[in-house]
Amino acid sequence: MDRYKHTPKQDLIEELAALRRELDAVKRHTAGLQQTAEAHKHAALIIEKSPAILFRRLAADDLKQRKMVYVSENISRFGYTADDFMSNRIMFRDLVHSDDSERTKKEIQEFVSKNIESYKQIYRIVTRNGEARWIEDHTSVVVDTETGVKYHQGIVEDIHHRKIAEDKLRRSEEKYRRIIETAGEGFLLMDKVLDVIDVNNAYCRLTGASRQKIIGKNLVDLIDSKHRQFILANRDDLFSQNTYEFESELTCVSGASVPVLIHGNMLYGDIGAIMGNMAFVTDMTEHKKALRLAGEVQKTLLPQHAPEVPGLDICGKTLSCDEIGGDYYDFILQSGDPKNLLSVVVGDISGHGIDSALLMTTARAFLRMRASMAGSITEIVSAMNRHLARDIFDTGKFMTLFYLVIDAKKRSIEWIRAGHEPAWLFDPKKNRFEELKGPGMALGVIEDYGYGSNHRHHLEKGQVIIVGTDGIWEGHNKAGEMFGKERLQSLIRSYASSSARILLKAVFDEHRRFTQDARREDDLTMVIIKIL
């Protein structure tokens, strides 16, 4: 204290303030050291739990001099200690699997020759217990700015489980690729908006286009213009389901169109989100040829011209929604029949396609055979029902039928309605439609069902009988609006004074105009009989 005895008070105050500043600086430094120590502690904990191992080694030309100067403690995940490497008891290169050793050396030599100072290698190392594990080695060349010493430093990441999963995925993809490339059917892989991202060789052969020309195009653009409008108009309905199937035609490089069946489904990710679409494309050329031939044969079974019956003007027509159909109409006029009776038959097989067409052919053959024999129309229809019930009961198929017999001389009609829509009798004088109703089960449902006939007399000149199938009035346009019976009746009123042929043509023309040439979902059949 004596040394401060003669020190001026002001100097003491200034010295004390300086000491306080030094003490504050020491406190701040101590706090910084504590924070650094805490950060190091957290970093060490993170590294210990991490699959990434940190390292730094000397970048000497002599491999023996490439000593490890640092390696993180989590090297223990492979069964080794950091000291194993720091003391040079083990060199890291000694851990490289023998099958990968030569490759990794060549890769490093190439990196050096190209002056690449940051690189990645994937290889296997052998753990202390002899297990081979895949790692990813990220190495960079760094130079200490103070000493000028060059080091190799970076991280080694344990990727064993990832690599095994990737290899499984690769093998699965290779298997998928072999299956797709060797498939006889065309294959398209598409994104969520149906843009093609992959295609197989079979599809390229089908269209004559190269893979490069197809990838990037939208599925709709691959379809020919005739069917494209249908796809665009019904796109939401076609592709809103998990699976979809439709027939169309593809445009080839040559300009030709190839009929195809497209069968596709949505692709979903692990969390249920839509990832894209895939579709198999089947060439239907030969199938369509066979169907067209069958369709031509089927057409020969339909009336080639209307019968000429005094007092009647008759015309009939059918249009199938496919190459062959399940609708049926026929005129049966027995030669030599003194009564000169005309039988008019209109039938509709459930469904449409090949099976319905075959059933229609069978039904026609039996009906004509039975109608040539003696018996009433009740006996004819009942016999036909028994025949069909025995043949098709287990299939779930059935046939609706309207069987009409016209006596032109007596101007009377007799009919049986077997599950079919009622025919109409239009009287232009009274501007009234009368339904030709009557009870009756569809054919092929109950074998011993008893059918009864219905009668009407006193037909008058100008009256029109209309027998059709539901494909006429149930047809839809692109807006979803139904053609409907009211529209059909309006047409009949307008053309009732015309011939049966002109009236029938007007109906089919208006139906085509209304549906805008949209793809038909059902067969269309109608028979017109005018009383003269």
Q: For 339-362, how does the pLDDT look when each residue is reduced to its tens digit (9 = 90+)?
A: 678 999 999 988 777 777 888 888
What dihedral do alpha carbons 452, 317, 483, 323 form, nearest 10°? 110
pTM: 0.60
CA 122/CA 164 separation, integer angstroms: 13
User: pLDDT value at position 122?
Assistant: 93
Which of 156-170, 171-185, 399-413 has the least mean pLDDT?
Answer: 171-185
**Between 373 and 296, whose confidence is greater?**
373
User: pLDDT value at position 170?
Assistant: 80
| Residue whose token pair is 């053309």 | 495
Contact 524, 318 (CB under 8 A): yes
Looking at the chain, the whole-number percentage of residues with pLDDT higher than 70 is: 89
Average of pLDDT values for 390-406?
88
| Cα 52–Cα 57–Cα 61 angle in degrees, nearest 5 | 135
- Which amino acid does the sequence have at 470? D
Strand runs labelled E in 284-396:
312-319, 327-333, 341-349
Of 60, 117, 118, nearest to 93 by C-alpha is 60
CA 201/CA 184 separation, integer angstroms: 9
Q: Which structure tokens are listed for 268? A: 């979903």
Strand runs labelled E in 269-353:
274-283, 312-319, 327-333, 341-349
Which of 137-151, 343-357, 397-411, 423-437 has the least mean pLDDT?
Answer: 343-357
Cβ-based neighbour number of residue 412 at 10 Å: 14
Give the chain's count of helices (H) and strands (E).
14, 20
Say whether pLDDT at 9 is over 70.
no
Q: For 311-326, how does the pLDDT look when each residue is reduced to its tens digit (9 = 90+)?
A: 999 999 998 877 777 8
Sheet holding 312-319, edge to edge: 312-319, 524-531, 464-468, 423-427, 432-436
Strand runs labelled E in 236-381:
243-251, 257-268, 274-283, 312-319, 327-333, 341-349
User: pLDDT value at position 15?
Assistant: 66
CA 399/CA 395 separation, integer angstroms: 12
Say whether pLDDT at 369 is over 80.
yes
Q: Kindly give the residue spans of alpha helices, DSSP state H, lying in 373-460.
A: 377-392
* pLDDT mean across residues, the chain: 85
CA 466/CA 136 separation, integer angstroms: 82
